[in-house]
Amino acid sequence: MSRWQELERRYYLQVARRLPVTLVRGEGARVWDEDGKEYLDFVGGWAVNNLGHCHPAVVDAITQQARTLIHTSNQFYTVPQVQLAQLLVENSVFDRVFFCNSGAEANEGAVKLARKYGRLRRNGAYEVITTLNSFHGRTLAMVAATGKPHYQEPFKPLPPGFVNVPFNSLEAIQQATTDRTCAVMLELIQGEGGVYEADPEYVRAVSRWCREQGLLFIVDEVQTGIGRTGTLFAYQQYGVEPDVMTLAKGLGGGVPIGAFLVKEDAAVFEPGDHGSTFGGNPLACAAGFATLTYVIENDIPGHAGRIGAYLKARLNNLRSRYEWVTEVRGRGLLLAVQFDREVSERVVLGCLEEGLLVNGVTPSAIRLMPPLIITEAEADQAVSILDSVLARVGAAAV
């Protein structure tokens, strides 16, 4: 254990299951630890580093903004905030944006908006339907929204107003809808839940149901947004127009920022209804504007779709050679490899030893969410390392 890891154990609240490595530098899709060892990063800050580490466009924007204006309150107008808001609206189906600092805050804001919508348009309705195996954040309300009982148990009693139903079941949503319901909130791909995709017809049917019942349809794109699935936003692949969308992770190029976008008809907030001291501050918005501009102008979503398909095909080749690898799922550069046994930790540690960072999303699956700028050569390198590790893990199990 290094000095930094010893100090972390002494001073930091022990809430993270960390790998035994201290990262000190990053560039592109690669990072280096304190001993100078290089790793290919297929965790990407948990789908944050869409342009890789320290992308010049983001670094230049942060540097210039830090010399100009780092923070001022939302009592005043600032240029980067308006620039980023305009860029998001002009490249989506939404009309308004609110900026915050994280995905959990974005989802909290969306739910708060839905409750006011329910108060005004549905006779005081306040319940939001979410799905089992979902993940919407770590705040107390978002733990209630998150459909994972093991996350909820330690913190009960939870805030009321959330109903968790099975994923990919329209009937479950229909049966859960009452006069108390104001919205349905879905992840189009359950990333933290193990990279499970929503069925396209299910998403379209949920959208229709919400319209028919006068409910808000909220999509949580905290993990799927900003190009990760092959389009700028994942909803664009489903043929729907949600009322509200939440973003974070990839929006800031590594700088913390969150947002929720809303259509005009659902924009029921008035001055004083919502706010954030740091939300939409000049530094974060300058990073977001630089990131989103680069993503759009260089068709990073298209690249992610092509490389993601290539990587998925290579991973399926591995699956055909290891009978205990049962599935490769996901789209774009949000992928999971499923095992028929609980070996994720061994695979993650084996990859770490050989210079590849991956995420053990469940005890029996690993998740890959690399920077969207990876090359075929880097995808090949990752698959080669994973192949070597799977061979060792498989042999040890015999």
Task: Give 69-103 as a DSSP string.
Answer: -----TTS--HHHHHHHHHHHHTSS-SEEEEESSH
- Domain extents in the chain: 3-55+300-397, 56-297
Nearest to 4 by CA among 65, 15, 18, 93: 18
For residues 165-188, average pLDDT: 98
Residue 135 falls in the annotated catalytic set: yes
Cα-to-chain-centroid distance, residue 126: 25
Quickly state the pLDDT bin for 397 (edges 50, 70, 90).
Answer: low
Residue 398 has pLDDT above 60, yes or no: no
Domain 3-55+300-397 of CATH type 3.90.1150.10:
yes
For residues 373-379, average pLDDT: 98
Give Rg (Cα) of the chain: 21
Residue 249 falls in the annotated catalytic set: yes
Q: Which CATH architecture has domain 56-297?
A: 3-Layer(aba) Sandwich (3.40)
Q: Annotated catalytic residue: which of 94, 249, 263, 312?
A: 249
For residues 164-179, average pLDDT: 98
173 with 184: CB under 8 angstroms? yes
Report pLDDT digits (tens) over 269-286. Answer: 999 999 999 999 999 999
For residues 13-25, average pLDDT: 94
244 with 270: CB under 8 angstroms? no
Residue 77 has pLDDT above 80, yes or no: yes
The chain-wide mean pLDDT, for the chain, equals: 97
Q: Annotated catalytic residue: which of 98, 220, 233, 339?
A: 220
For residues 157-162, average pLDDT: 96
For residues 350-375, average pLDDT: 98
Percentage above 70 pLDDT, the chain:
99
The structure tokens listed for 345 are 């930790």
Question: What is the number of other CB atoms lying within 10 angstroms of the CB of residue 356?
Answer: 24
The structure tokens listed for 133 are 């195996």
209 with 170: CB under 8 angstroms? yes
Nearest to 233 by CA among 87, 379, 54: 87
Report pLDDT digits (tens) over 112-151. Answer: 999 999 999 999 999 999 999 999 999 999 999 999 999 9
DSSP, residue by residue, 178-204: -TTEEEEEEESEETTTTSEEPPHHHHH
Residue 166 has pLDDT above 60, yes or no: yes
Which of left, alpha, beta for 123 (phi over 0: left; psi -120 to 50: alpha)? Answer: left
Dist CA 365 CA 16 (whole Å): 19
Residue 340 falls in the annotated catalytic set: no
For residues 356-381, average pLDDT: 98
Calculate ∠ Cα 189-247-281, nearest 5°: 165
Q: Annotated catalytic residue: which of 94, 98, 135, 233?
A: 135
For residues 238-257, average pLDDT: 98
The CA-atom distances, in angstroms, between 188 and each of 32, 185, 299, 376, 387 are 33, 10, 21, 26, 29
Provide the 3-class DSSP secondary structure of residue 54.
coil
- Tokens 């479950």 belong to 172
Q: What is the pLDDT of residue 2?
A: 86
For residues 170-195, average pLDDT: 98
